Structure 1
Amino acid sequence: MDKDRIEGSVEQAKGKVKEVAGKVTGDSKTEAEGKADQVKGKVKNTIGGIKDTLRGE
């Protein structure tokens, strides 16, 4: 498994926590940052998946 997939999954999880924290506290900036972090994590995870595919894993 490519390290990008692991890092992407971690980024997604952190983003989700940040999004929920923003919703709970009513902080729309934190909520938006959490959503953006989730998207970055998904992209990184996808890139790692492509690398795994190219390596035949």
Structure 2
Amino acid sequence: MVAKRLTGKKLAFVPILRAGLGMTQGILNLVPAARIGHVGLYRDPETLEAVEYFC
């Protein structure tokens, strides 16, 4: 794999809960200094709008 190297940058990854949590450890293995945040969303069955339940 070929990728650009980011030096001097502070990275943060924000997985969506459940769907993205499985990738968190892999990202931390690649970028150990990265910060991790979390977002939880669900879709309201009546309005079909996304609703935040955890940020």
TM-score with structure 1 setting the length = 0.28
Higher strand share: 2
Larger radius of gyration: 2
**Larger helix share, 1 or 2:** 1
For normalisation by structure 2, the TM-score amounts to: 0.28
